[in-house]
Amino acid sequence: MTPLKPGSTIGIFGGGQLGRMLSQSAQKLGFKVHIYDPHTDTPAGRISNFKSAAPYEEMAAIARFAKDCDVITYEFENIPTITISAAQQFTPVHPNVKALQTAQDRLIEKTFLAQKADAPVIDFRKIDTVEDLHQAVSELGLPAILKTRRFGYDGKGQIKIDDIDEIPAAFKDLGGKNLILEAFAPFVREVSIVAARDHNGNVKCFPLTENVHKNHILHTSSSPTSDPQNVEETAKSIAHRVLDALDYVGVLAVEFFELDGGKLIVNEIAPRVHNSGHWTMDGDCADQFEQHIRAISGLELGDPKPKVSVIMTNLIGDEIEQIPAYQGKPNTHVHDYDKKEVREGRKMGHINVTKPLTDR
Amino acid sequence: MTPLKPGSTIGIFGGGQLGRMLSQSAQKLGFKVHIYDPHTDTPAGRISNFKSAAPYEEMAAIARFAKDCDVITYEFENIPTITISAAQQFTPVHPNVKALQTAQDRLIEKTFLAQKADAPVIDFRKIDTVEDLHQAVSELGLPAILKTRRFGYDGKGQIKIDDIDEIPAAFKDLGGKNLILEAFAPFVREVSIVAARDHNGNVKCFPLTENVHKNHILHTSSSPTSDPQNVEETAKSIAHRVLDALDYVGVLAVEFFELDGGKLIVNEIAPRVHNSGHWTMDGDCADQFEQHIRAISGLELGDPKPKVSVIMTNLIGDEIEQIPAYQGKPNTHVHDYDKKEVREGRKMGHINVTKPLTDR
């Protein structure tokens, strides 16, 4: 693809914090940004050059939006694929629909990972009836995790089953259809790789990142991290294979469980910039948002090598009110998403704290 | 001052690249931005939350703008002081009018620097008649630089006089009134200090920066720079005194001539973020734009200590077309101001190239 010229317009479906940070990177590179979101007042829309406020199912609005853009992307994987299909009749959309379809459904995702990307996944079973679930539990053992196939995030749409007695309630609570049972992964830690792939198939990975969750929501990401079991290169190879198998353009995150003994299991993939890559904003490298914009715009990928060590801490819900305590602290970078309303469990901002690389 | 809460609105007079980069920093901190500029379509206005397009002399528009903002600043020193005075009837404006008045007029500036800030300046004379000029030349010697007192930038509004015969033409070419003659400073290099001062009088300086001009326009800024004559601490003390003497809040730049022997002469001050501070954007520190926003918003100043070495190169006029050649280069950060039209001598963007600090 011919690189987009500065002044071109990048369309983004979704006006949340990821769209906002993508916008800022796009604007830094001289691009204009058009945000499409069902809401009129969004964190990204407020700083964008143009915005469209319309439902994701409104085909006429999508057509108008797409015709105004030179390339289109999205900030979250739960956008209807029909929206993307409509938009790409007029304008290229990256990442492609296949990536979106794959990531939207845990069953398709895990099947793809195992069969097409030679990526290790946890044992899983498709669950459509309570009998399926009993059978699956007998095969995978307990504890196991029952999940909805679609629309789960931050621990929503999943229930850990520790005892056979819990099967009926768990099945019912998750809606009783389109479920997946996953064996329990006894991991020693969670790590991720955020990687970018350009139109020519070049892949650049950020370093291995260690992630700590609190109440199922990402709490901290640290990079670089110690790697006593030497998993970094394996993790990068897996990410590379996933990107290639999807013929992917843009940034993608692969979340892993690291097991005792050094085996990695892919937990899930996200076809977008990812919370575990927010540390890159202050790593003095081409950060994940810039990499994504570069990739979809046909620019060469930037240098993903950080020059400092960074620990990112999410500010969830009313933790955003702690921001004044962080202001003015040395080596501390505050990112506030300018969300209108504080809600429990809502990602409101994050803090990046940097250290010289030699300190680790 | 009580720190502004995220979600508050920062007003900026001027919609150019400095206003744009200030906006991005303000938005990163969770503030909203309102740009006031006589033009409707500006680099900063395009990414701002709100904008007002009206002349700087339109008092009703200024009042509406000011009432909408929680604090106001400006991106350039040639804004009419009457505009600032009008705005601050409703809302605090930083830096203050005194700083603006001082920096707008080379005669007032140099007098202030010498008398109030104990800052070394080159010999100068007020010139209102051709006789004044002859007299001044006989006192200061040749070569000397004749300048307009106001509205000079990037070498505009100044003529070097090498010979007495050139006096009448130079005097006439610069308008024949409100001029200043400055002795010639035989400098070995040009350096600057960009410094921030908060509401409590705390001052934080970025490291000494070495600046190279080409055709009177800043070409490169490098920091850190070697300092064989040990001028850095002196330069910082002078900047500190200037900030205190102006009771200044925000970021200010002091440009110096460094003479053989280690003496520093203040060339000029800029009551704003400054081109020679653009390298800070990729220095992995609180950059000059963030420091300015922090200062005027009553936040504590951030950490100005860079973790990497940076060389900034301006892209002037059609040099912006070289951007594709920089894309994808390692350690290279591209900043494009999204200006509508390429013009000769116009600052269109800049490139920051980073290196580990130990490489210098």
Q: What is the pLDDT of residues A67-90, one digit of tens each?
A: 999 999 999 998 999 999 999 999
Structure tokens at B149: 């007192």
Nearest CA distance, A230 vs chain B (angstrom): 26
Nearest CA distance, A68 vs chain B (angstrom): 16
Verify whether the Cβ–Cβ distance A30 to B349 is below 8 Å: yes
Q: Which residues make up the CATH 3.30.470.20 domain(s) of chain B?
A: 187-359
CA angle B57/B58/B60 to nearest 5° reads: 140
Helices and strands counted in chain B (H then E): 10, 17
Average pLDDT, chain A: 95
**Long-range contacts for A108-116 (Cβ within 8 Å, ≥24 apart)?**
A108/A149, A109/A268, A109/A269, A110/A180, A110/A182, A112/A245, A113/A242, A113/A266, A113/A269, A116/A245
| Nearest residue in chain B measured CA to CA from A17 | B28
Chain B interface disruption, residue of A2, A28, A308, most B CBs within 10 A = A28
Verify whether the Cβ–Cβ distance A328 to B302 is below 8 Å: yes
Residues 287-326 of A with CB under 8 A from B: 294, 299-303, 305, 307-308, 320, 323-324
Enumerate the residues of chain B whose CB falls inside 8 A of the CB of residue A49. Answer: 46-47
Verify whether the Cβ–Cβ distance A47 to B27 is below 8 Å: yes
Q: Residue A315 in contact with residue A349, Cβ under 8 Å?
A: yes
Q: What is the pLDDT of residues B263-279, one digit of tens each?
A: 999 999 999 999 999 99
Q: Note the residue count of chain B.
A: 360
Hey, CA dihedral for B24, B27, B29, B35, is it positive or negative? positive
Q: What is the pLDDT of residues A151-194, one digit of tens each?
A: 877 778 999 999 999 999 999 999 999 999 999 999 999 999 99
More confident residue, B359 or A242: A242
B341 touches chain A (CB under 8 A): no
Please compute Rg for chain B using Cα positions.
20
Q: Residue A100 in contact with residue A40, Cβ under 8 Å?
A: no
Question: Cα separation of A241 and B326, whole Å?
Answer: 28
Asked which of A57-71, A167-181, B144-158, B284-298 is least confident by mean pLDDT, the reply is B144-158
Verify whether the Cβ–Cβ distance A46 to B32 is below 8 Å: yes
| Nearest residue in chain A measured CA to CA from B330 | A303
Q: Fold for domain A123-183?
A: Dna Ligase; domain 1 (3.30.1490)
Hey, CA dihedral for A313, A319, A323, A325, is it positive or negative? negative
**Closest C-alpha among A288, A295, A293, A258 to residue A273:** A288
Q: Fold for domain B9-93?
A: Rossmann fold (3.40.50)
Domain spanning A187-359: which CATH class is it, in words? Answer: alpha beta
A141 to A137, A166, A283, B245: CA distances (angstroms): 5, 13, 42, 75
ipTM: 0.77
Question: Cα separation of B171 and B129, whole Å?
Answer: 8
Predicted confidence (pLDDT) at residue A328 exceeds the cutoff of 80: no
Which of the four pLDDT bands, split at 50, 70 and 90, describes residue A6? confident
Q: Which residues make up the CATH 3.30.1490.20 domain(s) of chain A?
A: 123-183
Burial of A350 (0-12, 13-18, 19+ CB in 10 A): buried
Average pLDDT over residues A124-134: 97
Question: Cα separation of A264 and A225, whole Å?
Answer: 16
Q: Residue A74 in contact with residue A47, Cβ under 8 Å?
A: no
Task: Specify the amino acid at residue B99.
Answer: A
**What is B216-228 written as a DSSP string?**
TEEEEEEES---T
Average pLDDT over residues A301-307: 89
Asked which of A326-340, B84-98, B177-191 is least confident by mean pLDDT, the reply is A326-340
User: What does the pLDDT read at residue A360?
Assistant: 43
The pTM score is 0.87
Q: What is the pLDDT of residues A182-218, one digit of tens each?
A: 999 999 999 999 999 999 999 999 999 999 999 889 9
**Closest C-alpha among A141, A346, A117 to residue A240:** A117
Q: Which residues make up the CATH 3.40.50.20 domain(s) of chain B?
A: 9-93
B279 to A95, B189, B249, B307, B332: CA distances (angstroms): 33, 18, 21, 12, 11
What kind and span of H or E run contains B188?
Answer: strand B187-197
Q: Residue A146 in contact with residue A179, Cβ under 8 Å?
A: yes
Nearest CB to B284 within list A20, A24, A284? A284
Question: Cα separation of A143 and A160, whole Å?
Answer: 7
Structure tokens at A279: 């540390």
Q: Where are the alpha helices (DSSP H) in A29-92?
A: 59-68, 81-87
Asked which of A101-115, A247-261, B141-155, B215-229 is least confident by mean pLDDT, the reply is B141-155
Return all residues near A321 (Cβ < 8 A) that are at least 6 apart: A342
Q: Residue A277 in contact with residue A285, Cβ under 8 Å?
A: no
